[in-house]
Structure 1
């Protein structure tokens, strides 16, 4: 009997292996591609395509063009190089100008998938760095789409786009208009819309999602008129178009600084000279200063980003929300998103031994409110000290500095974007969240004080399911949180409602339009984690009180 059972199991396994569900060779507009098929379980497979070109090698400081195509079958089994950028320590470059490729994860059950929702990821990195092409650090590939695709039963796409000088330098006029990295993202979204049906995806159900500069990019992609009808839903994590670092205020000045570094003239010959300059030299000339102080905050050094060019962005982002009227939108921040930035500006906030002077907090506030002079600083200081006791503790001062950075750099602009999305929405739904899982580097005997909450980028590991793929590095509560976030994100991609889909969730997430409600996301969450009017006093200060103060005549 046991022998017969063994034979039956062997036959079943053999039949499953020879009939593995796979797309095989896929026909795209550029030619045929073939990825890798992996087995995840019984009648459970996934096709992975790496390095599929979505555009031609881009011309320097030019919009991307369609790929001319290829002969034969393109073996899409290796990641391509990321776009040319500075290395971590900014002493050298990595990557290539030939970088407009994307990767696709397609899950299959008993039969080959059809009509799946599609989630397109846009990475962050301050518009200066980043990539979706393989390992980010050591052997850990953070943006591996497998876990989201598998658990959520969605197609995941990650893409490359130009960053730094080559992606965002602009003269502020038609000679070098800028926004090349945003055009790359748009070309990838359009390619997915045209081709994803061949991979088993639904071209009419595309969700774009991203974090930091990627979250702002998602926001820009919903606001540009060039994506009309291409995007169904969007998720911005810790970044929107309204962030103070989202738009270059004076692109010409930055272009001239780069030109001088590479020995180009700064007159009407500048653009032609820059286009002829070695791309590595151009990349190294990109302004990136990772030093900060209360008087010159790090966030002000993020100077290469989008420009209002009259084309991709016909107007200021705040005036373009009508273009997102039919796009379902989730936007949120981490509760201490500003920690990594303010730690550059005021290093003592992370010290267990050194007090942080109140004067440092005043100097940081003065930098953020500079154009309003003393009146702006006084209003800001009274707003942020209104909850203090008469003699604030060391921790009160340090935490308030992080709150100031979080509010100014991320939280308030995100709330403003949610208000504008909701105000302009037709069929589009609006959802707000605050991610508050404490940083894993915080606590006794660790680099950060125990009061540090969710720092910038802390959400990424959970969205991409790292506690599930590398369980030894995490506790069970972290795996719970990863399941929750994948459930909310993929339910939303399927239905436009994060509560409704194939995966159950721990709390019902109300729409933002229901009294400005939001969901606080962490491993302990339940129905009691639905909150209302996120940091309203501070949102009101930055969006209403401060803008209505007169501009300082000292400016």
Structure 2
């Protein structure tokens, strides 16, 4: 009888313990109700999917506030992604009605959470594709925030924004200034600032984080004068505003190219713009697809044309000149050790073929494409910098890895190190942290020298080894646990070492005089703290290469006036 009584009391207590939930939440535009998802015996996450943060956007217009709704909005399913090409570029998907966000709020035993740090995620996808709920595996979105929220004790928000031509087409002047995708992100962050308190969040402790184009977007949001006071911290994973793929060089030429594809004449620019505005949005979107046949003519990165521009407003100047706007924002940034391998494998396909030789001619052709604005002198200079350690008869694995290193350095690692240095230089009380993620790839079929491929860090940060335990090993859960701890500690305090979550080793701050970084993999220990990440190559690109004269006539000589 005593056992039965105990069991009943325990059952009632557990029922009550698991009942902490927000229920209906009042936002500025109306009431919303999400869904509680259990994370174990004593914890759950309130999930709100598809909350509108702005009205349906006008074509190439800044987003406007949502008019609101009556009754209670059932926020239980993801809404459409913004209109975009599919991965294979064969068709389009999504809608112009796409400005929605998702919120994950961790709950404990008896009372709902209050005053939690907030982490806002901005997805990547070359500014061409992607969504806040992208890449679903076994019914679980890659960007599902439940594991970070539950294990890290933070609210996670993921947001949609316009991509491709509808998000980043620009004339380079006030007629169609561009950066509409950045304005969407800004509108979402502003909505979070105004409304997150009702969900148990602290509006004065918001951290942005993103990967690839999302990482560059995070950096752009930091640099924009419109962000003053909106958020306190930021994390860039594999991309910054200084990355060569993150800024349009010649926006009007791209706009005319899209206009021709949808049948708009380009001789009269005013007529062209009027024609574009009344064109079928699907046609405009397909007009921005990547021409895969052009890969043979040069590096694939040159085909990634849609990106932000210096518009004199949201981005008032070249990004390198705007880091004074980041003085009070804590910044954590890094790259994967093989972020450039995906691009290198397309540009020099022999690097991934076991019995194929990668030749000097192939490497020089790649360098010629990456450094075309500086001509033959740059090719010779860069080739010498990267081959100097080879010896007289370099093994093919060494040569092939060098190709991946070249693209990683040029596209990701060096721009990130420059951004970290600029942030540290301008910081006024804000902290700076640098990392290198080098967990060996889980993608089958790659050569043994391949380490962390582009975007491979995300599965660990978003806790997939816990959400999908049968697909991972214990070492993957160790890495996932450590990443979530560092990232959420940083979101709470501005310091990845300080917070509620234990970390394996102290991660020292990056400064103007010292450049420590943390090597992140499944065996983080004291030897994981190192200094001066690839400084030889950072110095090469920032000093030796930068000092070479620009020779290509089709490239703007002054990046500040692109």
In the superposition, the TM-score normalised over structure 1's length comes to 0.97
1:467 to 437, 447, 465: 465
**Contact 1:80-1:133 at 8 Å conserved across structures:** no
Distance 1:161 1:124 in 2: 11
**Contact 1:293-1:346 at 8 Å conserved across structures:** no
Q: CA deviation at 1:165?
A: 0.7
Distance 2:274 2:138 in 1: 39
Distance 1:31 1:104 in 2: 16
Distance 2:280 2:517 in 1: 48
Measured against aligned partners, the alpha-carbon deviations of 1:82-122 in whole angstroms (never above 9, x if no partner) come to 11111121111111000000000001113111100000000
Distance 1:391 1:154 in 2: 53
**Contact 1:21-1:43 at 8 Å conserved across structures:** no
Residues 553 and 149 (structure 1), Cα distance of their counterparts in 2 relative to 1, 3 Å cut: closer
Q: Which residue of 1 aligns with 2:559?
A: none
**Contact 1:331-1:418 at 8 Å conserved across structures:** yes
**Contact 1:412-1:539 at 8 Å conserved across structures:** yes
**Contact 1:128-1:163 at 8 Å conserved across structures:** yes
Q: Which residue of 1 aligns with 2:363?
A: 361
Report the more deviating stretch, 259-268 or 61-70: 259-268
Q: State the secondary structure of the residue aligned to 2:136.
A: coil
Measured against aligned partners, the alpha-carbon deviations of 1:339-358 in whole angstroms (never above 9, x if no partner) come to 00010101110011111112
Q: Which residue of 2 aligns with 1:409?
A: 411
Distance 1:294 1:546 in 2: 25
Q: CA deviation at 1:292?
A: 6.5
**Contact 2:152-2:484 at 8 Å conserved across structures:** yes
Q: Which residue of 2 aligns with 1:534?
A: 533
Report the more deviating stretch, 527-536 or 287-296: 287-296
Q: Which residue of 1 aligns with 2:143?
A: 143
Divergent runs of 4+, >6 A: none
Measured against aligned partners, the alpha-carbon deviations of 1:473-530 in whole angstroms (never above 9, x if no partner) come to 1111011000010000000000000011111111111111161110010001101111
1:192 aligns with 2:204: no
Q: Which residue of 1 aligns with 2:503?
A: 505
Structure 1 residues without counterparts, runs of 5 or longer: none
Distance 1:510 1:484 in 2: 16
Q: Which residue of 2 aligns with 1:428?
A: 430
Distance 1:554 1:174 in 2: 26
**Contact 1:56-1:66 at 8 Å conserved across structures:** yes
Measured against aligned partners, the alpha-carbon deviations of 1:250-272 in whole angstroms (never above 9, x if no partner) come to 00000000001111122221222
Q: Which residue of 2 aligns with 1:324?
A: 326
Q: Which residue of 2 aligns with 1:28?
A: 27
Q: CA deviation at 1:35?
A: 0.7
Q: Which residue of 2 aligns with 1:38?
A: 37
Distance 1:219 1:554 in 2: 30
Q: CA deviation at 1:289?
A: 3.0
**Contact 2:43-2:150 at 8 Å conserved across structures:** no
Q: CA deviation at 1:135?
A: 5.1
Residues 138 and 535 (structure 1), Cα distance of their counterparts in 2 relative to 1, 3 Å cut: same
**Contact 1:462-1:481 at 8 Å conserved across structures:** yes
Q: State the secondary structure of the residue aligned to 1:269.
A: helix
Q: State the secondary structure of the residue aligned to 1:362.
A: helix
Q: State the secondary structure of the residue aligned to 1:187.
A: helix
**Contact 1:431-1:512 at 8 Å conserved across structures:** yes
Q: Which residue of 1 aligns with 2:397?
A: 395
Distance 1:122 1:553 in 2: 35
**Contact 1:295-1:364 at 8 Å conserved across structures:** no
Q: CA deviation at 1:138?
A: 6.2
**Contact 1:33-1:73 at 8 Å conserved across structures:** yes
Q: CA deviation at 1:39?
A: 3.1
**Contact 1:330-1:430 at 8 Å conserved across structures:** yes
Q: CA deviation at 1:2?
A: 2.5
1:179 aligns with 2:218: no
Distance 1:146 1:58 in 2: 29
**Contact 1:258-1:287 at 8 Å conserved across structures:** no
**Contact 1:81-1:133 at 8 Å conserved across structures:** no
Distance 1:299 1:254 in 2: 15
Q: CA deviation at 1:26?
A: 0.7
Measured against aligned partners, the alpha-carbon deviations of 1:158-195 in whole angstroms (never above 9, x if no partner) come to 01000001000111111111100000000000000010
1:222 aligns with 2:200: no
Q: Which residue of 2 aligns with 1:88?
A: 87
**Contact 2:119-2:208 at 8 Å conserved across structures:** yes
Alignment coverage as a number of residue pairs:
549
Q: State the secondary structure of the residue aligned to 1:208.
A: strand
Distance 1:15 1:77 in 2: 23
